[in-house]
Amino acid sequence: MSEECCGPDEPRKTRTIQRIELTRPRAAGGACCAPEPVHNTVPTQAHEEGDACCGPALPSKGSRGDDEHEVRPPWWRDVALLPSVLSGLFLIAGYALEWAGIELLALVLQWAALLAGAYTVVPGAFRRLIRGRLGVGLLMTIAAIGAVLLGHVGEAATLAFLFSLAEALEDRAMDQAKEGLRALLSLIPETVRVSRLAGDTTIPAADVRELDILVVGAGERVATDGVVVEGRSSLDTSAITGESIPVDVCPGTAVAAGSVNGASTLRIEATADGRDNSLTQIVSLVEQAHARKGDRARLADRIARPLVPVVLIAAALVAVFGFIVGDPATWIERALVVLVAASPCALAIAVPVTVISAIGSASKFGVVIKSGEAFEQLGTIRAVALDKTGTLTRNEPAVVDVRPAAGISRAELLTWAGAVEATSSHPLAAAITAAAPGAAAAADVVEDAGHGITGRVDGTLVRVGNARWLAPGALSSAADEMGEDGMTVVVVEAGGKIAGLIGIRDELRPESAETVRLLQDAGIGITMLTGDNERTARAIAAQAGIADVRAEQLPADKAAVIEQLATARPTAMVGDGINDAPALATATVGIAMGLKGSAAAIESADVAFTGNDLRLIPGALAHARRGRRIMTANIVLALAIIVVLFPLALFGALGLAGVVLVHEIAEVFVILNGVRAAQRPAALRARAATPEPARV
């Protein structure tokens, strides 16, 4: 029962609503063409870079079906993994036949393994080379070619297989993180009733234009941003703003696309087209954030960039030196040994083996990490932004305080209120009836949308409503006190006299304060973001122990705050609602709480928790930091092997057999060290042994 709704005699408010502004370039000449309908998938690069249209497109009716949405197959049916699998099988069979003395067939299978592995590595390496980008793929390709020229096809096949598998697994993880945002777009109805001179008519939501009058019935969603021009009701805006308490609306109140209407029909004047409103722009914000994050190079590639040209130049100089001294055969062979010595075999698996071990272990205690990049970034986090509704709180409004007037008992007050609210569809009614489960339904119930409800209980006229409709009188100071504590105050009147007050609030999770303390003890800064009003936000934050509070935040505001925080230090955003999606995508790492959260939040996040226990957050951060340390140690070891072998190969101290032996030993150490990342940190072992706090 929001206090922002105007009274019946107040003038109509200005016909504006806060909008998310995009920086999408317009087409040449400054004109914006009519956007074309798109499927419910993240746009391709070609679509994003196009300049034909300046606004995001909304799917038209008929484009929402799952039949038109590409779904990523399970790993055992993913054809992208097939070359790596075949390469591994051919390689194992080839080595087995070689050990059995069947040389020719073994060589054929090793060549098959080499070609299958190279199929996923070599084309990409050359495409990147054409674009002027050097990476691990190019170095692996050159090393494999060098091994083949020296007659060691099995070694070349091993290099190709290891790198091919690492690439395939990481690409699959990234694809999972970029799947469509169908849940966001599903909040917009396919059709909407529009008031015309000849009567109400139904049109596609995408055809709504500014100044159209929308007719929104009980339980229906608002198709686009607008202003109420007729009717009073309550709107569930939790999916858009994150506010857990329904908002009462009346003529002049601005409403956002995607809000769910309550019990009464509203007429809303559109302030935005059906294709270009606050909800469609949320989709665009998420897409843009994903596009920015997709360009970040992986850690191994960043290391390989300076390594590749150094190795190539060194090998070329060695070969040239052979011609200068008159012994080209010896020095050309030595140059190829140098290439193999510098092959990033251990480097190629240093990161994937650690990431796969850590991610697999994390999934067992309820932390789903979507990609290697997300895991790497999770270990750097120094600040955490927490959404309030559904994350810090339970998102279940409940009666938390009852203040009966003199001569009225608590049970009597709740019974009166529960009886009147028993048949109401207002979301706050559920909290009141839950507090008075034995109350029989009142008679002659009449609901006054935006104000309250009236009924007769055992012959007594009882009214239940907000403080604007029913003045608290002698309980005014108590009402103010409850409001300062973040409660929505419901006034109960019986027989023409104020019977008492009922305070309703979305309560803090039992583990929230402990989680905040654990994060602060680890030196991590905490910020709370919420669409709720300042007073409620401050009250909840004080209970949780959070000092930095940002209230009344729309989705774009949350994304802006996260961008500001992430500029100063790596920042994680934790949320569970559709309104959190842009912030989750903008953060260094987005963490979605609970698989029962919105699909958009889970798809936008880099990490998703299968449960709702907040204590997973500090545990997951500790797990990622430990894995990052192991990953760094692996990279250092892999680079150290190259640094040691390079001069030994250069000066002929080691031949190809010795170089390969050292490489294989290094790989074993890297793998064993990487597997250690699967061990749970102490915080998560304690978390696994402690059940979630019981709900009261």
The DSSP secondary-structure symbol of 381 reads -
Residue that wins the pLDDT comparison between 316 and 427: 316
What's the pLDDT at 461?
Answer: 93
What's the pLDDT at 696?
Answer: 32
What's the pLDDT at 438?
Answer: 79
The DSSP secondary-structure symbol of 532 reads S
What's the pLDDT at 152?
Answer: 78
**Residue 387 designated active-site:** yes
- Classify burial at 306, counting beta carbons within 10 Å of its beta carbon; exposed 0-12, middle 13-18, buried 19 or more: exposed
pLDDT tens for 458-478 read 888 999 988 888 988 889 999
What's the pLDDT at 18?
Answer: 33
> Which listed residue (212, 273, 276, 387) is catalytic?
387
The whole-chain average pLDDT of the chain stands at: 76
What is the distance between the alpha carbons of residues 223 and 518, in angstroms, rounded to a whole number?
A: 42
Mean pLDDT is lowest, of 223-227, 311-315, 591-595, for 591-595
What's the pLDDT at 621?
Answer: 92
* Segment 428-452 mean pLDDT: 84
Nearest partner of 413 among 453, 463, 348, 353, judged by Cα: 463
Residue 280 in this model has a pLDDT that exceeds 60: yes
What is the distance between the alpha carbons of residues 299 and 209, in angstroms, rounded to a whole number?
A: 48
pLDDT tens for 386-425 read 988 778 888 778 898 999 999 899 999 999 999 999 888 7
- Classify burial at 552, counting beta carbons within 10 Å of its beta carbon; exposed 0-12, middle 13-18, buried 19 or more: middle
What is the distance between the alpha carbons of residues 344 and 351, in angstroms, rounded to a whole number?
A: 12
What's the pLDDT at 16?
Answer: 32
What is the distance between the alpha carbons of residues 182 and 517, in angstroms, rounded to a whole number?
A: 36
3-state secondary structure 12-74: CCCCCCCCCCCCCCCCHHHCCCCCCCCCCCCCCHHHHHCCCCCCCCCCCCCCCCHHHCCCCCC
What's the pLDDT at 275?
Answer: 82
pLDDT tens for 601-611 read 666 678 878 66
CB 391, CB 574: distance < 8 Å = yes
Q: Is the dihedral of CA 480, 482, 487, 488 positive or negative?
A: negative
Residue 243 in this model has a pLDDT that exceeds 80: no
What is the distance between the alpha carbons of residues 236 and 263, in angstroms, rounded to a whole number?
A: 11
Residue 42 in this model has a pLDDT that exceeds 50: no
Nearest partner of 351 among 412, 292, 316, 303, judged by Cα: 303
What's the pLDDT at 270?
Answer: 93
What is the band of 193 on the pLDDT scale with cuts at 50, 70, 90? very high
pLDDT tens for 588-601 read 998 887 654 555 56
* Segment 678-696 mean pLDDT: 52
pTM of the model: 0.58
Residue 426 in this model has a pLDDT that exceeds 60: yes
3-class DSSP state of 89: helix
Q: Which residues does 125 contact at the CB level (< 8 Å), separation at least 6?
A: 135, 137, 138, 140, 141
CB 695, CB 434: distance < 8 Å = no
Name the residue type at position 342. A
What is the distance between the alpha carbons of residues 588 and 494, in angstroms, rounded to a whole number?
A: 54
* Segment 77-86 mean pLDDT: 82
Number of neighbours of residue 496 by Cβ within 10 angstroms:
8
What is the band of 646 on the pLDDT scale with cuts at 50, 70, 90? confident
Which span out of 15-19, 23-27, 637-641 was modeled with the highest average pLDDT?
A: 637-641
pLDDT tens for 327-342 read 887 887 788 778 777 7
Mean pLDDT is lowest, of 130-144, 164-178, 359-373, for 164-178
Q: Per-residue b/e over 405-437, b at no fewer than 16 CB within 10 Å?
A: beebeeebbbbbbbbbbbebebbbbbbbbebbe
What is the band of 360 on the pLDDT scale with cuts at 50, 70, 90? confident
Residue that wins the pLDDT comparison between 644 and 302: 644
236, 242, 267, 276 from 255: Cα distances, Å: 10, 14, 11, 15
What's the pLDDT at 500?
Answer: 93
Name the residue type at position 504. I
CB 346, CB 354: distance < 8 Å = no
Residue 536 in this model has a pLDDT that exceeds 90: no
pLDDT tens for 245-277 read 677 888 988 888 888 888 789 999 999 888 887
What's the pLDDT at 31?
Answer: 32
